[in-house]
Each structure stands twice: as structure tokens, then as C-alpha cells.
Amino acid sequence: MPSTVGSTRTSPTLPSPAQGVRWTTPIVETPGIIVLASWVWRLARFLVTLPFRFPVMVGSAAVTVSSWYWFGWVGLAVLCGVATVASLVWWRAWPDSFRAWVTLRLLAWWRHVVVYRRHWQPVLVISGLAESYQERRYLPHIRRVSCTSWADRVRVTLVAGTSPADFETRVAELAHGFGAPSCRVVVEGPRRITLEFPRHDTLAEPLAALDVPDEVNLSALPVGVTEDGSEWRLRLHGTHVLVAGVTGSGKGSVIWSVIRAMLPAVADGTAQVWAIDPKRMELSYGRGLFAHYADDGESAVAVLESAVADMQDRARRYAGKQRSHVPTQTDPFVLVVLDEVAFLTAYHPDRDVRRRSENAIATLTSQGRSVGFAVLAALQDPRKEVMNLRNLFPDKVALRLDEASQVDMILGEGARDRGANAHLIDPGLAGVGYVRMEGSPAPVRVRAAYVSDDDITAMTDAYGSEPWEVE
């Protein structure tokens, strides 16, 4: 037999059925002439589209060069002087227009070059948003950067095969990577998204109570402001609202702002507020504004069951005659306010009170929307064993919460990944929270106006009546 000492012979190793077969794609090197042609095409396209993308900049440069060419340095100095005077007049006479057309555009150009273009590749690579194919790395493309008074809007074209969800789950990394307080992803269309980066916290300052509106729109009650500075309007007619937050998070601000926005309708009899206040501290201060008021378990159940009876009676009268509710003095819109709803559903020592309360709340939230009954409930602990009816509330507000897992309990699965970090809200920012409206997956950061004790007293004096208490 031939000796095998000192020799090595290898045999091909076949993959086991469990391992499967690994396929490799050959890497094809792009010829240099094609790379050069590609860069020439990009340069030509850039020069052709430049006047359309930046007309003001191109026009200014053309006028400046023409003045210097035809009139020399004297003409250039005259042009600069005229432009300076015109800019000062524009700035003083029409500051909003000047800010929109000059200041914000220059800021957008600066942040595009210094912040986003400069850090785009390292931030996206480290965040896991860069894609690789055949040993090449592909990055989403920045189409445009624009600035508003509060945020930068970075419009992005995605790499083929990726989705906006990839960015929605990386909002924390993007915010920290570009030095912003937060990040929000707005889907514009196929492969087109916009990243919103606030430049500062627009909700840091407390908001005083809003003026009582002249007319009441129950589908859009003004209760505060959103992060972009617009008015936060909360819908009540045709829905139910759940407000969750720890002690001191500002649940009272949301409740009292809603009641304040409804006052003209309460005064003319087209709306009513039925209040349940187990703590006897939050709503009792303005009990003269309420058609019904309860502050213990038995009276609370009585108010809830009375609301259910009125709702069912109205539904019987509407059956076969009308499908939607229009607030009138005969059939007013009824808002049932439940402060610390967990006291009735989980913490009350009487099991019968808990059962009856839960049944009444379930009936109101499942049947009351179409006949003009709405429930506004507030609680501290959103766990299922404390409040198992939260899915019956289409609209939810998450104020400051204890745990990260509670964010998705309130706003729905994936809300925290989309930037709703309610568990990270500063304790000093009472009334700040996130809203996820029915039909919209993107949470919106908001702050409710603060209604002081003096405001409540003035509201009661102007719109209230003698307190009525359930016995």
C-alpha cells in the first residue's frame, strides 16, 4: 500500500441536508469608462437642473457676475448697496415673508451642508439603514432639506427594497445622530419619506388656558398646541378618549381644557358634562358646570347606569329614523368624564360596584358614539388587569408614563418605535404627551393648556349653575 505519511489529501466536503447549499454571486467590476461617463452625466444633470432647483441663488450669482463684467467694481459696489437697502426694507416691512424666503432658506442650505450631508453616511451606517449588495453600499438619497420655524424637514428617497418602517424603528438613533430632540417619519409616497427633526423643544414653556371659543365644534375642540406650533384640537363627538399618565403628568389639564372648550355649548343646552371624581379633588372645584356629579362608588355607578339608560332610550328613538346624532337642546351631546377610572374598574372594594361600573362603561363606549354619548376617561396604570376596556377608546393620549412598555399599551403596538417616548417626558413638563388619533399610525407630540383654579372659578361663575349631587 502506498504510504500516506507526510502527504495531505483533501476531499470535497458536501453540505449536509440541514446546512443547505450556499450560493455566491460573482462580483462584477464596473469598467472605468462607464464610471467616468456616469460622473459626466451627473455633472451635466446637476448644471442643467441647478437654475430650477435654486433659482434665487443662480439669479443672484448671474446678476453679480454681470454687474462686475459690465461695470467693474463700481457697479458691483452699487449693486451690493442697493441689495442691502432693499433687504433691510423687506426685513422691516414684511418680516414673515423675509423669514420664509431668505432666513429659513439660508438656514436650510447651511444645515443641509453642515449637519445632514456631512453626517449622513456615518449616522445611517451605524444605525443600520445602509444597504449592501455585491460588496457595494447603498444609502437613501437626500432630495431636499427645508426649514420651518421649529424643525428641519429632510426629504429622502429610499433604496429600492426598503420601507419606511425601517426608519420608523430607528427614530431614536436618527435623533441622537443629528443632534435633535426627536425625529418623526412622514410617508409621502412610494420610496419617499420626510424626516422631521425639531431644532428645539417648542413645548418647553407652559401654556395658559386658551380663550373660550365663540362657537363649539365638538369634532375639533381646541385644548392645547402641537409640536409644530399649530393648535391641538381634540375630537369628542363620535369617539371616546382615554388619557393615561402618572400622578402630576397633567391629566387634569387635558380634562379641564376639554370642558373649557365646550362651555358655550353647555350654556345653550346642546351639550352636557357628567362628571365622576373619586378623588374629590380634581372635578369638585367646578361641579356647578356639570349636569350630574358623583364622588363615590355607589353614586358613580348610578350616574353611569343613568347615562346608559338615556343612551339606550335615544337609540330606540333613532332606530330606523336617523343614523347620526346632531346636538340639540332636546338631545344634547353628553360627555361622561371619568377621573381615575381604575378606582371603579379595579380598586373599589365592592366587587358588585366594580362589575356594574365595568359593564356600564363597556356599554357606553361600544354603543354611545352614534347617538351622541362620549366617554373621557383618565387613569394612571394602563395595564390590562387594571383597565381591560382600553381598546374601546379609539383616541388615546399618553402623558408621562412609568415604563416604556406602557407606551404601546396606550398608543398601540409600534408607537414607541415611531418616537412616542412618553416614558422619557421630563417630570417638569406637565401636560406634555403624545396623541395617536383614530386612523393615523403616527403619534403627535402635544401639550395641553393649563387651566388654573382661578380659571375654573371664573368658568363656574360665568357658565355654571347650582351644584347638583347624586344621593
Residues 239, 362 within the same domain:
yes
Q: CA 50, 56, 58, 59 torsion: positive or negative?
A: positive
Q: Do residues 239 and 346 both lie within one domain?
A: yes
Are residues 305 and 434 both part of a single domain?
yes
The residue-averaged pLDDT of 208-233 equals 91
For 390-446, the DSSP string reads GGG-SEEEE-S-S-THHHHHHH-TTTTTTT--GGG--TT-TTEEEEE-TT--S-EEE
Are 291 and 430 found together in one domain? yes
Q: How far apart are CA 90 and CA 131, in angstroms?
A: 47
Amino acid at 462: A
Sheet containing strand 333-338, edge to edge, reads 231-234, 221-226, 444-448, 432-436, 395-398, 241-244, 373-379, 333-338, 271-276, 292-294
Domain count, the chain: 2
pLDDT at position 419 over 80: no
Is the pLDDT higher at 78 or at 429? Answer: 429
Query: Checking DSSP bridges between strand 395-398 and strand 241-244, what pairing results, if any?
Result: parallel
Q: Is the pLDDT of residue 133 over 50?
A: yes
Share of the chain above pLDDT 90, in %: 38
Task: Tell me the pLDDT band of 439, cut-offs 50, 70 and 90.
Answer: low
Please tell me the pTM assigned to this model.
Answer: 0.75
Residue 6 has pLDDT above 50, yes or no: no
Average pLDDT over residues 96-112: 88
Looking at 200, 230, 252, which one is the last position of a domain?
200
pLDDT at 312 over 90: yes
Average pLDDT value over all residues in the chain: 84
H or E element that contains 349: none
> Given pLDDT bands bounded at 50, 70 and 90, which one contains residue 25?
very low
Cell 346642546 belongs to residue: 270
The pLDDT confidence band at residue 131, using thresholds 50, 70 and 90, is confident
Of 415 and 328, which is predicted with more confidence?
328
CATH value at residue 172: 3.30.980.40
- For residue 115, give Cα distances in angstroms to 140, 145, 193, 348: 16, 11, 19, 55
User: Quick one: pLDDT at residue 3?
Assistant: 43
Residues 377, 338: Cα–Cα separation, whole Å: 5
Instruction: Mark which of 200, 234, 265 sits at the end of a domain.
Output: 200
Residue 28 inside a domain? The answer is no
Mean pLDDT of all residues in 13-32 = 52
DSSP annotation of 450 reads: B
Residues 67/75, Cβ–Cβ less than 8 Å: yes
Per-residue cell: 466: 347650582
Q: What pLDDT shows up at residue 62?
A: 82
Q: What is the pLDDT of residue 24?
A: 47
Q: Return the closest-CA partner of residue 297 out of 369, 253, 360.
A: 360
CATH number for the domain harbouring residue 280:
3.40.50.300
* Cα–Cα separations (whole angstroms), residue 22 to 16, 26, 133: 11, 13, 16
Contacts with 21 (C-beta within 8 Å, 6 or more apart), sequence order:
15
CA distances from 363 to 238, 306, 375, 384, 429 (A): 15, 12, 11, 18, 35
pLDDT at 16 over 70: no
- Whether residue 188 is found in the same domain as residue 263: no
Host domain of residue 170:
95-200
pLDDT at 381 over 60: yes
At 373 the pLDDT is 94
Q: Which residue has the higher pLDDT, 295 or 16?
A: 295
| 191-199 mean pLDDT | 91
How far apart CA 376 and CA 396 sit, in angstroms, is: 10
CA distance 137 to 459: 62
Q: What span, in angstroms and rounded, lies between the C-alpha atoms of 263 and 462?
A: 9
Mean pLDDT of 437-455: 82
DSSP string across 214-227: SS--TTSEEEEEET
The pLDDT value recorded for residue 48 is 82
Same structural domain, 147 and 244: no
Q: Are residues 291 and 359 in the same domain?
A: yes
Cβ pair 464, 456 in contact under 8 A: no
- Structural domain contains residue 415: yes
Average pLDDT over residues 126-153: 87
Decide the pairing of beta strands 141-147 and 271-276. Answer: unpaired
28-42, 149-163, 360-374, 411-425: lowest mean pLDDT where?
28-42
Nine cell digits for residue 448:
395641553
